[in-house]
Amino acid sequence: MSEDNRIKIIPLGGLGQIGMNITAFEYGGSIVVVDCGLAFPEDDMLGIDLVIPDVSYLIENSEKLRGLVITHGHEDHIGAIPYVIKQLNIPIYATKLTMALIEAKLKEHMIENEVERHIVNFGDRVLLGDIEVEFIKTNHSIADACALALHTQEGVIVHTGDFKVDYTPVFGEPIDLQRFAELGKQGVLALLCDSTNAERNGYTNSEKAVGKAFENIFEDHDDTRIFVATFASNIDRIRQIINTARKYGRKVAVQGRSIENIVVTAQEIGYLEIPENTLIDIDQIKDYPDERLVIITTGSQGETMAALNRIANRQNKWARIKPGDTVIFSSSPIPGNEKAVSRVINELTLQGADVIYQDAHVSGHASKEEIKLIYSLVRPKYAVPVHGEYRHLKAQAYIARDMGIPKEDIFILQAGDVLSVGRERADITGQVETGSLFVDGLGVGDVGNVVLRDRQILAENGMVMVIAAVLADSGELVSGPEIITRGFIYVRESDEIMTEMSEVASESFRKLSDKGVTDWNKMKSVIRDDMSSFIWGKMKRRPMVMSIFIEV
């Protein structure tokens, strides 16, 4: 069958309507996995810490696995690696910084010695079974990001990873547009392209623009302390803050575990050179006048436990806001974090800080014109928009159509879809089992929808328990019923509502006894229903009602 020669593209790990950043590419007898990201829980996933992909399909096909190839070191591309690697034996390929970040994760999970790892350079081509993977330089909000060309006998697939086109990057080279062009000239079957900013017109600004903004702000605030909150992983941003600080004669202190770690890591691998006498320890800030200080912090997303929020709330040991301080948010809120960010801005403002949250940030993702540029260089036969919410994928689909790709050659995939791509045609040829697993504490997958539904009910209205000691056979009430509530309403033992609920439960027992009901399940259900009706009728509330019998 000619079908057998096509390349299969399978996004895994569903969350909502689309997959996470983990995609299997299957050709011949080989599977190459690209990225292995986690997702952060949605609002209704109460108590969940992280969401990771279900990789059953990879486990079932473990004999075909040739390599896990990572495009860059953001959490949504590397965060699930420790969890997945515990289930799969697969070597990892990544650029230098990306690998350093992965290694830190493996160490945390104490599995760094169990994983085969290969650091690659831009331009490298690695043969992984029947698929040769080529690493191509791109630009993004983290250093060392790359696109991939997957070469097979059937043809080439290009995967951009997360990217932007930065002609004037702060460190390293611009995106290797020539290589994209060369691949396009030779012929590319499918392009998987970043959609995150596919709704934005024009071009995304160069990272260098932020440096200019910093200079203006430092110029205008030359007599105050300056705090800058930013994303830990954006080393170029940190570099620019440090450079601006030096230019204006300021020392730099760093606050927040993730930024402290990345500064150490980046220095170790030679990605961040900080001149002597620039960095100071946070406990030294008291020794310098305000206008000689910059403090770089975590917490630009309003995270409760991060440095900036703790500084704002006077919980940080070394730094507190005083009137006149300048605080720069070198970030924009990730959707869903707007309110948390605003809360921190309010708190900082309340304490007298001058908060600047405009202009000091650029996105790491390509806008419409950059996406068009990539399409014109690569000229793929098939378009597969990736990265982003469904609306973003759809926005890229429109761009692809504008670029002349017929509607039927554009594929928006759902998690588990198997897209078979060949010289003659491409279509969805099947589905594999996948989905998401919830990580809660040390548990992976032991919290599912039933548990979440219970948490939702408990969160909304708390619970009311009817507790009774009952004779096993006769169902006769020996002690109780007692009423206990948690998270319901503020009540004391002596409150009328407690007496009323007690009477409702006693009445249920009487009724059951009169009818001669002795089946515990039946009894419990009647008691639960009576109590629920009473509470709804009286208060229009629906707590979780439980009837708990103990046998004596």
Whole-angstrom distance, CA of residue 342 vs CA of residue 302? 8
Whole-angstrom distance, CA of residue 205 vs CA of residue 168? 10
Dihedral over Cα of 517, 522, 527, 529: its sign? negative
Single residue of 209, 279, 469, 498 touching a copy of itself by CB under 8 A? 469
Single residue of 5, 46, 274, 313 touching a copy of itself by CB under 8 A? 46
Backbone angles phi, psi at 495, to 5 degrees: -70, 150
CB-nearer residue toward a copy of itself: 47 or 406: 47
Single residue of 240, 331, 461, 508 touching a copy of itself by CB under 8 A? 461
Q: Which stretch binds a copy of itself (CB under 8 A): 3-11, 284-292, 428-436, 461-469?
A: 461-469
The CB density around residue 284, as the number of other CB atoms within 10 Å, is 13
Size of the site for a copy of itself (CB under 8 A): 67
Query: Does 528 participate in binding a copy of itself (rule CB under 8 A)?
Result: no
Q: Which stretch binds a copy of itself (CB under 8 A): 213-221, 259-267, 347-355, 428-436?
A: 347-355
**CA-to-CA dists, residue 56 to 51, 82, 95, 322, 437, angstroms:** 15, 16, 27, 53, 11
**CA-to-CA dists, residue 269 to 124, 144, 273, 400, angstroms:** 19, 12, 10, 39
Q: Do 166 and 206 form a contact (C-beta atoms < 8 A)?
A: yes
CB-nearer residue toward a copy of itself: 219 or 495: 495
Q: Which of 54, 194, 440, 530 is catalytic?
A: 194
Residues constituting the chain = 552
Would you call the peptide bond into 53 cis, given omega within 30 degrees of 0 as the criterion?
no
Amino acid letter for position 139: N
Strand pairing partners for 10? Answer: 24
Q: Which of 365, 387, 392, 440 is catalytic?
A: 365
Q: Which stretch binds a copy of itself (CB under 8 A): 53-61, 94-102, 181-189, 440-448?
A: 440-448
Whole-angstrom distance, CA of residue 5 vs CA of residue 323? 68
Q: Smallest distance from the beta carbon of 335 to a copy of itself, in angstroms? A: 5
Q: Which stretch binds a copy of itself (CB under 8 A): 3-11, 122-130, 239-247, 452-460?
A: 452-460
Q: Which stretch binds a copy of itself (CB under 8 A): 224-232, 279-287, 515-523, 536-544?
A: 536-544
Whole-angstrom distance, CA of residue 94 vs CA of residue 344? 36
Q: Is 103 exposed, middle or buried (0-12, 13-18, 19+ CB in 10 A)?
A: middle
Whole-angstrom distance, CA of residue 160 vs CA of residue 23? 13
Query: Does 451 participate in binding a copy of itself (rule CB under 8 A)?
Result: yes
Q: How many CA atoms lie within 13 A of 506 on its CB side?
A: 9
Single residue of 117, 394, 401, 528 touching a copy of itself by CB under 8 A? 394
Q: Smallest distance from the beta carbon of 550 to a copy of itself, in angstroms? A: 5
Query: Does 459 participate in binding a copy of itself (rule CB under 8 A)?
Result: yes
Query: Does 448 participate in binding a copy of itself (rule CB under 8 A)?
Result: yes
Query: Does 287 participate in binding a copy of itself (rule CB under 8 A)?
Result: no
Q: Smallest distance from the beta carbon of 508 to a copy of itself, in angstroms? A: 17
Q: Smallest distance from the beta carbon of 191 to a copy of itself, in angstroms? A: 21
Give the footprint of a copy of itself on this chain (CB under 8 A): 16-17, 42-43, 46-47, 335-336, 338-339, 342-343, 345-347, 349-350, 355, 389-391, 394, 440-443, 446-448, 450-452, 454-463, 465, 467-469, 478-480, 482, 484, 486-491, 538-541, 544, 546, 548, 550-552
- Tell me the catalytic residues: 194, 365
